[in-house]
């Protein structure tokens, strides 16, 4: 579903933010992307969803190149950044409607999916309010609903659990599993190692722009905990 081959990215001729990384997220996978601050997670994610241009390497979404066929790729993707800045001047429902229209979701499907997800995230009553009045968590929930309502094949999330209350985090995990059970795939970055350990089938650890460990979660962590492995990899040069 998502294939990153030898991808590198540097900003304004400075050191490489991401250096020759490769990974593959298959249908049904929940893939955790772990790394400390500034390791290159967001850069990789932004390039994968077509926000950031890049020169080196190749990124394929469902077999199509994000570089040469960005529109077709984006039709299959839902992306939520780490701090979703949404259109403050729209109401929640206007924003969902807008995203639904962009992804050409039919009226009936849009209505039923908005109902499903907004009720699950307990946001229905606030949908008529302006987004500017939302708390950080509410914005996060709205962004998540907007991601799910167009039934993406690939869900790419940057730190999705930050700002969510425990119940919402639990519901999100449920929906993530549901999406994958239907053949979708998820690629997300996180700092919460416990979540990654319990939720992800596969993980990759990125350090200084390079992947230092990648594969099935159980294989990567071995007999120890993910936290132990992570600390070991991060501390060792």
Partner 1 sequence: MSNLKILLKNSIMNNWGVNKFLKEESKSERIKKASIFLVILLSIFSVGMLIVMYSLAIAEQLGQYGYLNLILMSAMILSTMFSFFTSVYKAQGVLFFSRDFETLMSLPIKPSIILASKMIELLLLNYLFVALVTIPPSIVYFMKSNVSIVFFLYLLIGVVFIPLLPIVMAAIIAFAISYISSRMKHKALILNIGTLIAAVIVVIGSFKIDKIINIVIANSASIIEGIKTIYPPSYYFTDALASLNLLSMVKLILWSIIPFILFLIVFGRSFKSINLRLGETFKKSNYKLTTLKTNTLRGALIKKEFKRYFSSSVYVTNTIIGVVLVTVAAVACLIMGGDFMLDQMAQSSDTDIQAIAPLLKQVMQFTPLIILSFGVGLTCTTGSAISIEGKNLWILKSSPLEVKDIFISKIAVNIILLVPAIIFDTIMLAIAFDLTLINFMWTILIPTLLAILVSVGGLLINLYFPKLDWTSEVQVVKQSLSSMISILMGGVLVTVMIFVTMGINKVFAITNVNLYLGAIALLLFLLILLVYILLKTKGEKLFNRLSS
Span interacting with partner 1, options 24-32, 101-109, 168-176, 177-185, rule CB under 8 A: 101-109
Q: How far does Cα 86 stand from its chain's mean position?
A: 16
Residue choice 99, 144, 203, 220 for contact with partner 1 (CB under 8 A): 99
- Residue 156 CB, nearest approach to partner 1 (Å): 9
Q: Tell me whether residue 51 or residue 169 sits nearer to partner 1 (CB atom).
A: 51
Span interacting with partner 1, options 34-42, 80-88, 214-222, 228-236, rule CB under 8 A: 80-88
Q: Is 186 in the site for partner 1 (CB under 8 A)?
A: no
Span interacting with partner 1, options 31-39, 44-52, 176-184, 189-197, rule CB under 8 A: 44-52
Query: What DSSP string describes the chain?
Result: -EEEEEEEEESTTSSEEEEEEEEEE-TT-EEEEEE-TTSSHHHHHHHHTTSS--SEEEEEETTEETTT-HHHHHHHEEEE-SS----TTSBHHHHHHHHHHHTT--HHHHHHHHHHHHHHTT-GGGTTSBGGGS-HHHHHHHHHHHHHTT--SEEEEESTTTT--HHHHHHHHHHHHHHHHTT-EEEEEES-HHHHHHH-SEEEEEETTEEEEEEEHHHHHTTS-HHHHHHHHHH--
- Residue 232 CB, nearest approach to partner 1 (Å): 34
- The footprint of partner 1 on residues 10-29 (CB under 8 A) is 12-14
- Residue 88 CB, nearest approach to partner 1 (Å): 8
Number of residues that bind partner 1 (CB under 8 A): 50
Summarize as ranges the residues that interact with partner 1 (CB under 8 A).
12-14, 46, 49-53, 71-75, 77, 79, 81, 85-90, 92-94, 97-104, 106-107, 110-111, 114-115, 118, 124-130, 132-133
């Amino acid at each position: 579903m998502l294939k990153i081959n030898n991808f590198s990215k540097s900003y304004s001729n400075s050191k490489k933010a991401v250096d020759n990384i490769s990974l593959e997220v298959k249908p049904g996978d929940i893939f955790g992307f772990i790394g400390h601050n500034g390791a290159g997670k967001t850069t990789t994610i932004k390039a994968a969803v077509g926000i950031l241009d890049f020169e080196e390497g190749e990124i394929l979404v469902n077999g199509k190149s994000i570089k040469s066929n960005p529109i077709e790729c984006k039709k299959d993707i839902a992306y939520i950044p780490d701090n979703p800045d949404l259109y403050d001047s729209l109401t929640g429902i206007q924003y969902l409607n807008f995203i639904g229209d962009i992804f050409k979701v039919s009226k009936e499907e849009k209505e039923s999916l908005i109902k499903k997800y907004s009720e699950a995230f307990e946001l229905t009553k606030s949908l008529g309010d302006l987004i500017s009045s939302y708390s950080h968590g509410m914005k996060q929930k709205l962004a998540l609903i907007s991601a799910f309502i167009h039934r993406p094949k690939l869900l790419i999330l940057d730190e999705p659990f930050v700002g969510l209350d425990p119940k919402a985090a639990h519901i999100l995990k449920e929906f993530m599993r549901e999406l994958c059970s239907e053949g979708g795939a998820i690629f997300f970055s996180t700092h919460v190692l416990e979540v990654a350990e319990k939720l992800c089938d596969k993980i990759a650890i990125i350090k200084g722009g390079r992947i230092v460990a990648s594969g099935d979660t159980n294989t990567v962590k071995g007999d120890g905990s993910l936290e132990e492995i992570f600390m070991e990899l991060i501390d060792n040069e």
